[in-house]
Amino acid sequence: NLKYSGGSIYLQSGGIKGLLLFNINDQIMAWEASCPNQYPSQCSTMIIEGVQSKCNCEELKYSLATGQILSNTNDSQYPMLLYYSEKNGNLIRISN
């Protein structure tokens, strides 16, 4: 639910593997749902776990507030991709 701070949803349409939307202090963060440290594949779509997102293949976790990786390994070097988002009333515009 995006009406409250800390709320998040997954949108299948948009981006490479969909979008992860996260409300932080009434600002909507729109993240690419494809795991940033893996080539797109059947299991590279991230899932939401509270205020974090997790890559299905490699179990890497990221902050939905900052996009930074939380479970760092030697091979993981990229943060999540943030799209531009603009909230106007009940409408959210997302672009790159």
Alpha-carbon gap, residue 48 to 91, rounded angstroms: 22
- The lowest-confidence range among 30-39, 43-52, 75-84 is 75-84
Give the residue-averaged pLDDT of 15-34.
96
**What one-letter code names the amino acid at 11?**
L
Q: Which domains does the chain have, with CATH numbers?
A: 8-95 (2.102.10.10)
Strand 8-11 to strand 19-24: parallel, antiparallel, or no bridges (unpaired)? antiparallel
Q: Are 46 and 56 spatial neighbours (Cβ–Cβ below 8 Å)?
A: yes
Residue 1 pLDDT class (50, 70, 90 cuts): confident
